[in-house]
Amino acid sequence: MAADIWHDEAAGTWLLQGRSTGYAFGLAGDGTALRHLHWGPGLPAEVPAALLAAAGEDPPRWERYRTGARELPDEYVPWGGLRFDEPSLKAEYADGTRSTEWAIAAQRLTRQGATVTLELDFTDSAYGLTATLFYRVYDGFDVIERWAVLRQAGGQPVVIRQAHSANWWLPDRTGWRLRYLHGGWGAETRVAQTTLGPGKLILESRRGTTSHQFNPWFTLDPGGEATEEGGEVWSGALAWSGSWKLIYEMTSAAHLHACGGWNDFDWAQRLLPGDGLVLPSFAGLYTDAGFGAASREWHAWARAHVIGRGDRTGLAEPRWRTAAAPPVSCAPSSSAGPGPGEPGPGPRLRPVLYNSWEATSFAVTEAGQERLAERAARIGVELFVVDDGWFRGRNNDRAGLGDWTVDEAKFPRGLAPLIEHVNGLGMSFGLWIEPEMVNRDSDLYRAHPDWVYHFANRTRTEHRNQLVLNLARPDVADWVFRQVDRLLADNNIAFIKWDMNRPFTEPGWPAEAGHNPERIWVDHVRNLYAIMDALRAAHPGVEFESCSGGGGRADLGILGRAEQIWTSDNTDAWDRVTIQEGFSQVFPPQVMMAWVTDSPNWWTERRVSLRFRFHVAMAGALGVGGDLNRWTEREMTEAAELIAAYKLIRPVVQRGRLYRLASVTADPYGANEYLSDDGTQAVILAWWGPSSCSGGRPPLRLAALDPGARYADADSGQEYWGAELLHEGLRLPGAFRGDFGSALVRLARRRSVVSGA
Ligand code: DGJ
């Protein structure tokens, strides 16, 4: 269904209509506020006016002494006046005034490609600061995307101390449950939940990157009643790869809102007259069909409108840009060229990848990598990636970062012969880099010790023996761009794994003291995005993986510049089942890079079969990361068969609809069903851990099949009724015996036999 936005001029209301979602707000206080009215199922066009009238302006007489009665659900709240809930914006003007009062000044509505975008300008007439609130809806989706652009049109500078992308109000229900992703290194994206009571819960990253600890995604469901298969769910995800902050607040008037964007901790941004600031997009969606439906909506929308689509707003204004890139305007208009809603080819299927890290660590050589490549090609790998260790001085993690030239001791003839060898074996070639970092022991640091974040008279804290380059500096951003651009221009590289292995500390820029050095938190990421966008424009065939010591940089912002994400450094297949389940809440399977590595696993020392390891990694974009030189002939043959099997299921896994049938954290096994869009192909992957005395493993009930159709197991030929698989379940081969088992079942729909069943 085509998305649309309707404006009722007489009533002063707007109604956003997605596939089946309605979202409404209207002008209040003589145009000084935008009152939230509805977020949930679709509405008839007349309803927002009635909701606005019913919302009224004055609190009931007996409520007037309560300040909470003034904390009305406004779409974007400038700090000031008699309200004490979390504001959206806090600005400080040149004369010391720190509150903002504004009124609506203009509106624009634009249809572009598959999107409709509404822009509402609110202006503070005393100081000239304008906030343009953006709302975007997408044909065929229930995702609503919001962000704001601030612009100082007045004659004095203004300092922005807090600026949220969006403020999402939830309906007045009780017992709200918040679900979110938390974790750590090697333990990313695990689902946590809590019931929200009065007060505030803050989840954030202060690390300069998205972080392993928390991810800027959430679901909220009232009464904790939603399940995987049903119930009302509101969900949000912020498109930002730096420090972020999300606040879940039940106001004193008992309204729940979820708001946030850039983290205001230690951050401030000064806007000179004429300057603009584009805040990152914050997407939200509503469904009445449970957590599974919310995930499928995120997945489909990310595939159609996020992956590889660059800046979400189309307005971003980096501090740095290449001479070749045309300037982009930060003016409050959506006419800045094709946005993410423009039609374009969907992301291509992810190739089966080999990565050298666990096999060779820093000990990479031309001959050693060629040997691995030959074995990788034999089992069906399509993309061969040389990880860390290939550049000058990089024999361990204490040296080399920053010196991005090939180590001549390891590759005396450069990378070209290895790349040609890899290409000759029928694979494309990929390379690891970590361009935002430097080791003290590097020519770069010796030449430019002031290029790293640091405070005067303070320790430069090292982590993994490295320091973070100040990418907010235009000269450093330019240098990083040129290093990677040169590598890509000089070598036939099809894929870059872009790593980032440590958080920011001492985020200072002494040379800018007194000139707003706190802006680095935002400018680092804006320049990172600009560099990656410029590299992608200059080298259109090259694809990227986002890595940050595993899954520390997984978000919708980086997905605009990366086709896939390295999910975790923990490659233990059993641990991965939990990590992957959390990852799948928001990210589609095709971006979830999963390697099959050696057994026992280096991290957990757990031993599991090759088949189990493959079946777990097949849940996303399949990779191999083991030391193939140590794999026996039998293992090589089995691996080749399993990779061939993956290639058969790959279109359904990567492009189909994901149903999480069972959760390894709650059920006797974890299981996913992937269903092709036309419903004719289903792939089932299931994994179970150690046997226990708690009982067996019951048949697995499948989802979303046609009950009146026959489905055939593509391997055994056995046929089932859809109704049988939906209600009685599928007996998983081998599920009753043993530890760490797995199953892969492919089903093909025959023909409808019972109509209307
Ligand atoms: C951290 C990554 O997550 C690993 O996969 C590997 O690339 C190492 N860095 C290399 O230093």
Query: Contact at 8 Å (CB) between 649 and 744?
Result: yes
pLDDT of residue 736: 67
Q: Report CA dihedral (28, 32, 37, 43) to the nearest 10 degrees.
A: 80
Residue range 353-569 forms a domain whose CATH class is alpha beta
Catalytic residue among 221, 403, 407, 499: 499
How far is ligand 1, taken at its centre, from the CA of residue 589, in Å? 21
Tell me where in the chain the CATH 3.20.20.70 domain(s) lie.
353-569
Contacts of 242 (CB under 8 A, 6+ apart): 205, 208, 209, 210, 262, 263, 521, 522, 524, 525
Rg (CA), the chain: 27
Mean pLDDT within 57-85: 80
**Percent of the chain surpassing pLDDT 90:** 89
Q: Which CATH number fits domain 74-294: 1.10.150.20, 3.30.460.20, 3.30.390.10, 2.70.98.60?
A: 2.70.98.60
**Rounded-to-integer distance, Cα 134 and Cα 149, Å:** 8
Q: Which atom of ligand 1 is nearest to the CA of 548?
A: 3
pLDDT tens, position by position, 485-517: 999 999 999 999 999 999 999 999 999 999 999
Specify the domain boundaries for CATH 2.70.98.60 within the chain: 74-294
Residue-wise pLDDT for 147-170, tens only, equals 999 999 999 999 999 999 999 999
Residue 182's pLDDT band (boundaries 50, 70, 90)? very high
Chain centroid, CA 306 distance in Å: 9
| Stated pTM of the model | 0.96
Query: Measured in angstroms, how far is the CA atom of residue 387 from the centroid of ligand 1?
Result: 7
- State pLDDT tens for residues 427-468: 999 999 999 999 999 999 999 999 999 999 999 999 999 999
Nearest Cα residue to atom 9 of ligand 1? 549
pLDDT category, 38, cuts 50, 70, 90?
A: very high
In the chain, ranges of CATH 2.60.40.1180 domains: 661-752
What whole-number distance in Å separates Cα of residue 581 and Cα of residue 568?
A: 13
CA atoms within 13 A on the CB side of 135: 28
pLDDT above 90: residue 58: no
Low-confidence winner among 92-106, 232-246, 312-326 (lowest mean pLDDT): 312-326
Residue 727, burial from CB neighbour count under 10 angstroms (0-12, 13-18, 19+): exposed
**Is the pLDDT assigned to residue 208 strictly greater than 70?**
yes
pLDDT tens readout for residues 357-393: 999 999 999 999 999 999 999 999 999 999 999 999 9
Cβ atoms 551, 558 nearer than 8 A: no
User: Atom 2, ligand 1: which residue's CA is nearest?
Assistant: 549
- Output the CA 242–ligand 1 centroid distance in Å: 19
The predicted pLDDT at position 59 comes to 62
Instruction: Tell how far the Cα of 721 is from the centroid of ligand 1, in angstroms.
Output: 46
CA–CA separation, 459 and 496 (whole Å): 33
Which atom of ligand 1 lies at the shortest distance from residue 497's CA?
Answer: 7
Which pLDDT belongs to residue 331? 38
Q: 547 CA to middle of ligand 1, Å?
A: 8
pLDDT mean across residues, the chain = 94
- Specify the ligand 1 atom closest to the Cα of 550: 3
Question: Ligand 1, atom 1: nearest CA belongs to which residue?
Answer: 549
pLDDT digits (tens, 9 = 90+) for 309-352: 999 888 876 667 766 554 443 333 333 334 577 777 789 999 99
Of 437, 545, 547, best ligand 1 pocket probe by most atoms within 8 Å of the beta carbon: 547
Q: Whose CA is nearest to atom 11 of ligand 1?
A: 388
State yes or no: is 443 an active-site residue.
no
- Please choose, from the candidates 666, 574, 592, the residue with its C-alpha nearest in 3D space to the C-alpha of residue 227: 666
| Residue 494 token pair | 């099809």
Asked whether residue 756 carries a pLDDT value surpassing 50, the answer given is: no
Ligand 1 binding pocket mutation candidate from 355, 357, 576 (most atoms within 8 A of CB): 357
Mean pLDDT of 216-231: 98
Q: What's the chain's length in residues?
A: 757
- The answer for 346, left when phi > 0, alpha when psi is -120 to 50, beta otherwise, is beta
708: which 2 tokens?
């009146």
Question: How many Å apart are CA 173 and CA 224, to the nearest integer?
Answer: 11
3-state class (DSSP) for residue 456: coil
Q: Three-state DSSP class for 210? A: coil
- Annotated catalytic residue 95: no
The predicted structure's pLDDT at residue 60: 63
Which residue has its alpha carbon closest to ligand 1 atom 6? 357
Position in ligand 1 atom list of the atom nearest CA 549: 3
What is the bridge-based pairing of β-strands 564-566 and 543-546?
parallel
Cβ atoms within 10 Å of 634's Cβ, excluding its own: 9
Which ligand 1 atom is the nearest neighbour of the CA of 357? 6
Distance CA 686, CA 173 (A): 36
Task: Using a pLDDT cut of 70, give the percent of the chain over it.
Answer: 94
Domain 661-752 has CATH 2.60.40.1180: yes
Number of Cβ within 10 Å of residue 644's Cβ equals 12
Tens digit of pLDDT for each residue in 599-649? 999 999 999 999 999 999 999 999 999 999 999 999 999 999 999 999 999
Specify the pLDDT at position 336: 32
Q: What's the 432 CA to ligand 1 centre distance in angstroms?
A: 8
Ligand 1: residues with CB < 6 A are 357, 387-388, 432, 499, 501, 547, 549-550, 566, 569
d(CA 120, CA 438): 43
Mutational test site, ligand 1, from 465, 500, 569, max ligand atoms within 8 Å of CB: 569
* Residue 61 pLDDT grade (very low, low, confident, very high; cuts 50, 70, 90): low
Q: Tell me what the mean pLDDT of segment 650-669 comes to.
A: 96
Q: Closest Cα to atom 10, ligand 1: which residue?
A: 388
CA of 350 from ligand 1 middle (Å) equals 20
Cα(740) to centroid(ligand 1), Å: 27
> Residues 6 or more apart from 219 whose CB is under 8 A from it?
178, 179, 226, 233, 234, 235, 291, 294, 585
Which of 74, 85, 121, 569 is flagged as catalytic?
569
Ligand 1 probe mutation, 394, 398, 466, 501, most atoms within 8 A of CB: 501
* Predicted local distance difference test score (pLDDT) of residue 371: 98
Residues 6+ away with beta carbon under 8 Å from 332: 119, 121, 130, 132, 149, 151, 276
pLDDT attached to residue 426: 98
- Please determine, for residue 580, whether its predicted confidence score (pLDDT) is greater than 90: yes
